Amino acid sequence: MAEPTLKTPENVPGLYYVDETCIDCDLCRSSAPEFFKRLDSQGCTIVHQQPVTPDEIALAEEALSGCPSNSIGNDGTP
């Protein structure tokens, strides 16, 4: 499970975040590129846009559940 205290500071504010345990596997960026992007300077992924609609949230949740390092977190429902 992602650790809120280890959030990568470059994440945009909101419910979803990536923490410092990211292994840069590209899974979330391939499944939901609208919300996740690579931070080249650190070799990890960040949330660059928060999902809003139910379809967008479903994509973000799919990325969260598929993350092999459990580095994607969700602080709860809006």
Longest CA pairwise span in the chain (Å):
32
pLDDT given at position 70: 97
pLDDT band at 13 (very low <50, low <70, confident <90, very high): very high
pTM for the whole structure: 0.93
pLDDT tens per residue, range 34-69: 999 999 999 999 999 999 999 999 999 999 999 999
Domain 15-74 carries which CATH code? 3.30.70.20
Mean pLDDT value of segment 5-22: 96
pLDDT given at position 78: 52
Sign of CA dihedral 28, 33, 37, 38: positive
pLDDT given at position 1: 87
Extents of the domains making up the chain? 15-74
pLDDT band at 76 (very low <50, low <70, confident <90, very high): confident
